[in-house]
């Protein structure tokens, strides 16, 4: 029960790290509490709403009652399975905007600017345009992570991009290429009709090395002696044991569980640790702080023609799709159905997009409940850079207990202003001529909901998490009192211990978090191995020439 490196968490970043360390000839043990990813609910892209609602695959976290959302407790799914959240997510692949990473660098995460991270995005990708456009010069061609595009056969999917163009926005052929801003096709971690998780891309090949293995157990705490991490205490089969790390321990347990594990190990705000009788190893005020997420609304429109996916939303239709997928890995089951995207700026004077759209050619909720109106379509919309910050703290010193999750959503005036803008801009796009042949009544919020007060009430009741929590073990300068890890992902104040996952993001990125989480694992692996960083790529991203004076 020892290895050179012990990694806690077989999620997006942990799988990538295991792969690179095993490839370099190091012995690796990955500790994962969840089990196998086998089964159609995870593997079939169209079934994405199932695994995130299944206790077998999901930690089942809930937030505390949110004070600004009428006391609602918000679902906070995190993957408890090989592949982590990459095995239960929506499979949407968004790198983030170049400015996100330049901002990280400015915030103290030196060496994480866009020029620094772009080579890692390219290293991890195996991008397939499939004849559907895109920008090969900006994309990786030989990486472990397959990235594809949907067939975009549904007329509503194309109408959404055309409506964006008609509303005066840019169209972009590849938001993961030079130009994020605009409307265009979505990329997805889907390959040959199945989900391509971090487990499949990275850990499965790593396990072919004799010196890499997975131990299924619950991590209790990091074992620290004389300020140095020497292993991980685990529980499996009702017994406690220690897995020893000859070189380092790496925590990649998610933005919820990584700070929890640090605090259980005596690393965190001293006062909070004392409340739970935990001896302080390193007093780090930032552990569990800086919690960020994306919220979104579903703006739903009824369709007057039977063009949406609603016609398959019955037992027979689902069986037909399932059977076609099982036997051929093709058809509607082979897509996550998110095939058109949009990234726009909310107003003039903002230099890069701060609103994201996911378009879906059916009116349905994440829990699989379809709109009563039948045929319809929806745009998921939300601001990308909320100014609200929350925290993760311990409920108790028992490792089996879930931590206390307080997002503190919508706690600033700016958040409310941005959501009102989101609703109004979405309505404008859905009101364009491209949708005229299909457009029925607005299902949600409903055409009578127009005043600021009405929109705020709708947000309070209906806003949902996009499931992008991050930031709780912030990366920054060693002298930053709120930083938890330095720019090499080393925990400040403890030797031979690193954190590498979405918890180290200083600020949330623009879009879905799976791609930057995997990139974090890729780059962290080079830091761990003491290798020189990949050579910077100074490709210049597109910027709207009139951003100072024009919203579009």
* Chain segment 253-299, per-residue pLDDT in tens: 999 999 999 999 999 999 999 999 999 999 999 999 999 999 999 99
Contact call for residues 58 and 52 (beta carbons, < 8 A)? yes
Distance (Å, whole) CA 86 – CA 76: 14
pLDDT at 368 over 80: no
Residue 478 has a CB neighbour count (10 Å cut-off) of 12
pLDDT at 82 over 70: yes
* Range 403-417 average pLDDT: 98
Q: What was the pLDDT predicted at 132? A: 72
pLDDT digits (tens, 9 = 90+) for 30-72: 999 999 999 999 999 999 989 998 999 999 999 999 999 999 9
Q: What was the pLDDT predicted at 370? A: 79
Contacts of 169 (CB under 8 A, 6+ apart): 181, 182, 183, 342, 344, 429, 552
pLDDT at 438 over 70: yes
Q: What was the pLDDT predicted at 366? A: 66
Determine which helix (DSSP H) or strand (DSSP E) holds 110, and give its type and residue range.
Answer: none
Residue 94 tokens, joined:
């968004």
Contact call for residues 195 and 9 (beta carbons, < 8 A)? no
Q: Where are the domains of the chain?
A: 2-529
In DSSP terms, which residues pair with 8 in a beta bridge? 31, 251
Residue 129 tokens, joined:
């345009």
- Cβ-in-10-Å burial (0-12, 13-18, 19+) of 216 comes to middle
| Dihedral angle over CA of 392, 17, 537, 255, nearest 10 | -10
| Dihedral angle over CA of 90, 91, 97, 100, nearest 10 | 70
Q: What was the pLDDT predicted at 130? A: 73
Contact call for residues 100 and 541 (beta carbons, < 8 A)? no
Distance (Å, whole) CA 180 – CA 250: 32
Q: Which residues are annotated as a binding site?
A: 81
Q: pLDDT confidence of 481, banded at 50, 70, 90?
A: very high
Q: In what order do the strands lie in the sheet with 145-149?
A: 125-127, 145-149, 187-188
Distance (Å, whole) CA 118 – CA 124: 10
Distance (Å, whole) CA 68 – CA 408: 7
pLDDT digits (tens, 9 = 90+) for 148-198: 999 999 999 999 999 999 999 999 999 999 999 999 999 999 999 999 999
Q: What was the pLDDT predicted at 518? A: 98
- Is 468 marked active-site? yes
pLDDT digits (tens, 9 = 90+) for 237-251: 999 999 999 999 999
Contact call for residues 255 and 291 (beta carbons, < 8 A)? yes
Contact call for residues 383 and 415 (beta carbons, < 8 A)? yes
CA distances from 319 to 39, 193, 324, 333 (A): 16, 17, 9, 10
3-state helix, strand, coil in the chain (%, to 5): 30, 25, 45
Percentage of residues of the chain with pLDDT beyond 90: 96
* Range 519-547 average pLDDT: 98
Contact call for residues 475 and 112 (beta carbons, < 8 A)? yes
Residue 262 has a CB neighbour count (10 Å cut-off) of 31
Q: What was the pLDDT predicted at 134? A: 82
Q: pLDDT confidence of 89, banded at 50, 70, 90?
A: very high
* Range 308-317 average pLDDT: 93
Among 502, 490, 539, CA closest to 119: 539
Catalytic residue, chosen from 97, 380, 468, 544, is 468
Contact call for residues 407 and 388 (beta carbons, < 8 A)? yes
Average pLDDT, the chain: 97
Contact call for residues 473 and 504 (beta carbons, < 8 A)? yes
Distance (Å, whole) CA 261 – CA 222: 7
Lowest mean pLDDT among 80-84, 312-316, 454-458: 312-316
Contact call for residues 463 and 297 (beta carbons, < 8 A)? yes
- Prior bond of 445 cis (ω within 30°): yes
Distance (Å, whole) CA 17 – CA 470: 19
Helix axes 114-124 and 98-106, enclosed angle (nearest 10): 130
Q: What was the pLDDT predicted at 129? A: 82
Q: Which residues are annotated as a binding site for FAD?
A: 81
Percentage of residues of the chain with pLDDT beyond 70: 99
CA atoms within 13 A of residue 136's CA, in its CB half-sphere = 8
Distance (Å, whole) CA 66 – CA 72: 5
CATH architecture of the domain with range 2-529: 3-Layer(bba) Sandwich (3.50)
């Amino acid at each position: 029960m020892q290895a050179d490196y012990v990694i806690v968490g077989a999620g997006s970043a942990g799988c990538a790290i295991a792969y690179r360390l095993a490839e370099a000839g190091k012995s690796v043990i990955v500790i994962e509490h969840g089990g196998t990813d086998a089964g159609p609910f995870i593997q079939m892209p169209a079934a994405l709403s199932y695994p995130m609602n299944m206790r077998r695959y999901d930690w089942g976290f809930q937030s505390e009652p949110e004070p600004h959302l009428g006391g609602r407790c918000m679902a906070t799914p995190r993957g408890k399975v090989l592949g982590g959240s990459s095995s239960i997510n929506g499979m949407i692949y968004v790198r983030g905007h170049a400015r996100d990473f330049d901002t990280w660098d400015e915030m103290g995460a030196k060496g994480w600017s866009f020029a620094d991270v772009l080579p890692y995005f390219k290293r991890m990708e195996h991008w397939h345009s499939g004849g559907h456009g895109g920008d090969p010069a900006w994309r990786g061609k030989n990486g472990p992570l397959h990235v594809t595009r949907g067939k975009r056969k549904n007329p509503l999917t194309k109408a959404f991009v055309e409506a964006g163009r008609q509303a005066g926005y840019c169209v972009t052929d590849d938001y993961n290429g030079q130009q994020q801003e605009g409307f265009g096709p979505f990329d997805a971690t889907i390959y040959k009709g199945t989900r391509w998780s971090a487990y499949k891309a990275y850990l499965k090949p790593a396990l072919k090395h004799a010196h890499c293995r997975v131990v299924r157990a619950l991590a209790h705490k990091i074992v620290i002696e004389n300020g140095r991490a020497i292993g991980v205490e685990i529980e499996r089969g009702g017994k406690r044991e220690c897995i020893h790390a000859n070189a380092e321990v790496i925590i990649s347990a998610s933005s919820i569980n990584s700070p929890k594990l640090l605090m259980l190990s005596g690393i965190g705000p001293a006062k909070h640790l004392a409340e739970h009788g935990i001896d302080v190893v390193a007093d780090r005020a930032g552990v569990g702080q800086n919690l960020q997420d994306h919220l979104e609304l579903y703006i739903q429109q009824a369709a007057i023609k039977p063009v949406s996916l609603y016609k398959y939303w019955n037992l027979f239709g689902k069986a037909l799709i399932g059977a076609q997928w099982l036997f051929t890995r093709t058809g509607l089951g082979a897509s996550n159905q998110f095939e058109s995207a949009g990234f726009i700026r909310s107003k003039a004077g903002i230099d890069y997009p701060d609103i994201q759209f996911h378009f879906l050619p059916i009116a349905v909720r994440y829990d699989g409940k379809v709109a009563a109106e039948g045929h319809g379509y929806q745009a998921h919309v939300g601001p990308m850079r909320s100014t609200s910050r929350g925290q993760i703290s311990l409920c108790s010193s028992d490792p089996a207990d879930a931590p206390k999750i307080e997002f503190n959503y919508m706690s600033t005036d700016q958040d409310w202003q941005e959501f009102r803008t989101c609703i109004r801009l979405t309505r404008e796009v859905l009101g364009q001529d491209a949708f005229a042949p299909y457009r029925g009544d607005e299902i949600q919020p409903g055409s009578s909901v127009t005043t600021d007060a009405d929109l705020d009430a709708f947000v309070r009741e209906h806003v949902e998490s996009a499931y992008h929590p991050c930031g709780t073990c912030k990366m920054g300068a060693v002298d930053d009192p709120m930083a938890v890890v330095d720019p090499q992902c080393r925990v400040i104040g403890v030797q031979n211990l690193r954190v590498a996952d979405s918890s180290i993001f200083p600020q949330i990125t623009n879009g879905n978090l799976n791609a930057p989480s995997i990139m974090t694992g890729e780059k962290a692996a080079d830091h761990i191995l003491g290798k020189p960083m990949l050579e910077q790529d100074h490709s210049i991203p597109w910027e709207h020439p009139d951003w100072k004076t024009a919203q579009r």
